[in-house]
Structure 1
């Protein structure tokens, strides 16, 4: 099953073009997507985004107060790539995005074990709909994670609007982070210790990434969509409650399908079962380190490692530091 972008997101994206006087049906047709909004695969959605943005010469698709001309994101990627660390990169991103003086003010602040990336509406400025916020949060988080060679862990995501009809998709869009709606602004809580990670991409690579936007941002990063999402929920549930990793046969029984069918369907989504288990382990370990006082040895046990040393090696490969270094940071509660 291919990853699907809900119809509501396509409709909201096209609303920006309509605001600028461009016929949404004509844009759908130009993108080769018929004449009626529908659920889209990632490649189809990318076609639609590129058709809208190129037609309007606006990387923000008409959703913000003023156009953001084509090339702006590539310039930002070039600027951000000069940072030494992920934290410095986020600081540069905030500075650069504020230069646009468009619909939002952007900020970065420390709060306990998190660094908070926030976007607050400027009074009187146009924000067409929630896609104007969803796209910014996703694109910035994914770009920054890619620059650091990281998976973009999010500890919490919040939004200054009520939960939209497609909120069920937010679990995959925002990497299984806890979600809050009807807040005073919108933003992401990012693990503070990850801010120490070095940026590993060159300026040329960063510019090339920006020019592929939004393709890379909407490709699955952690197997949290379709059947992969169902599998990850089962693995997470058993690991969290019993401290063990389920095998594919057990997951297949829970989903009422033979393991060979499960393996074949996951392969069609471009996902390997072992990768799902690794991702679930990592997310649980980060949560436990950031929100509890249990020992590293106990966390190793709770995340299904036979010994603490194996867990420490795995955690270092995920985050670039040991579990104790993560916890001893002055940003951790």
Structure 2
């Protein structure tokens, strides 16, 4: 968490520098590209700019554009994964949402205004590194700090993703849907080390895919799962109205959110079947593994091999089985001796 705090601070510092530089440029004599009289003269064209113009506005294009845009804003739901480790979650979780989402939205809107004030829209749309081009245009000697801050921002985002995604493996293992050893925690730090390593390994396996195809593929799966979870909550709200709900919102919010999720799932599935179809195949590939695991776990030879592998992993990673309310869902108690 110290690492996350430091790198998030570095990211916010870089954003503030870009916003201030853009505002200064906008109030200058020419007013930048957002003024009614755009600047003339030689344009600052990056060496790596791609040729061509963006496609026209279409329903499919908007949905796929949302995938990339929502990927940039993708940290809003990560805090829910670590609710168990959050101090006073019923108070701090809503506070984090109400403070974090408006703050991030305002910052990035102002950053994009700064980009569009300094650089022409076509360059912003085609440049592979907008912040670097922005720094080259207005920051002078500070332009060499921009790639460093971009790297820090990327590392901080990656740290946050790994911190939270590992808890998904841990929760699944705790419920018996994945190998129980993934629910084990480090004896000193109490962190789910096997789950984090599994998440890291699967991430490395996906590095060979094109970044846009990867974003479209995983965003499809992400919004499909988020939509399913939202629909399940609405169903429980209807069938179990008396359940204790510490955090409760008006029904119009989850219904509107579910409609947005349906749009983000159905439209790309029809218009971009290649990338979204890969996401479907990746998701469905887990079903035979899950069925096979549930079928074979009752055989003694499989249980023996499972215990031996778990023993080996425990010794190598120094992890133990934590105390849960349903310990029978994990391996035999003698494994944790």
Query: Structure 2 length as normaliser, TM-score?
Result: 0.26
Larger RCO, structure (CA 8 Å, separation 6 or more): 2
Structure ranking higher in helix proportion: 2
Could you say which structure has the larger radius of gyration? 2
Structure ranking higher in strand proportion: 1
